[in-house]
């Protein structure tokens, strides 16, 4: 996210031109502009999300022997991982952390870059149960 804050003189026609920094990515973006007179305080706002009431569970132990061993290693290392990587994702291979990321995809991508083709277990470092993922079911709709 890029935050641009500036003071300017508003001309009679009230038109301003904004050029974004060169490192700003090209393509679809959300641009938010707030105009206020000088001296008027910045109004803060609060976003309230509905509660996440999805059912929660701890990840189950995988049936595959290699992944089951990695799962056991993750469980053993969890107290140490909580101090270093809380709320991040880790990739486990041969009982050791080989990659860390802010998302599951980021950790898996880094793990495959470090050990191409290796079977790895990626888990979020938390001691709380996680929401159960919902798999949508599609139903055929008859044309009228």
Least confident of 29-38, 55-64, 74-83: 29-38
Asked if pLDDT for residue 2 goes beyond 70, the answer is no
Instruction: Please tell me the predicted confidence (pLDDT) of residue 79.
Output: 94
d(CA 93, CA 114): 11
Residues 93-142: tens digit of each pLDDT: 999 999 999 999 999 999 999 999 999 999 999 999 988 877 777 777 77
Burial class of residue 121, CB neighbours in 10 A (0-12, 13-18, 19+): buried
Tell me the two tokens of residue 138: 């599609």
Render the burial of 79-98: b for 16+ CB within 10 Å, e for the rest.
eebeeebeebbbbbbeeebb
Residues sharing a CB contact under 8 Å with residue 99, sequence separation 6 or more, in sequence order: 90, 91, 107, 108, 110, 111, 113, 114, 120
Residues 47-73: tens digit of each pLDDT: 777 887 888 899 999 999 999 999 999
d(CA 99, CA 114): 8
Q: Greatest CA span in the chain, whole angstroms?
A: 73
Asked if pLDDT for residue 23 goes beyond 80, the answer is no
Q: Which among 140, 94, 95, 100 is positioned nearest to 123, based on CA atoms?
A: 100
Tell me the two tokens of residue 56: 């929660």
């Amino acid at each position: 996210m890029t935050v641009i804050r500036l003071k300017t003189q508003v001309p009679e026609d009230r038109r301003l031109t904004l050029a974004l920094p060169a490192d700003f990515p090209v393509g679809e973006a959300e641009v938010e502009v707030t105009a206020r007179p000088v001296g008027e305080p910045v109004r803060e706002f609060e976003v309230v999300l509905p509660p996440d009431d999805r059912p929660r569970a701890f990840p189950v132990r995988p049936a595959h022997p290699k992944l089951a061993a990695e799962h056991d290693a993750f469980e053993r290392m969890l107290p140490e991982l909580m101090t270093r990587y809380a709320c991040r994702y880790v990739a486990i291979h041969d009982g050791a952390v080989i990659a860390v990321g802010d998302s599951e995809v980021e950790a898996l991508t880094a793990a495959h870059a470090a050990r191409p083709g290796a079977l790895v277990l990626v888990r979020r470092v938390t001691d709380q149960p996680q929401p159960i993922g919902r798999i949508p079911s599609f139903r055929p709709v008859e044309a009228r």
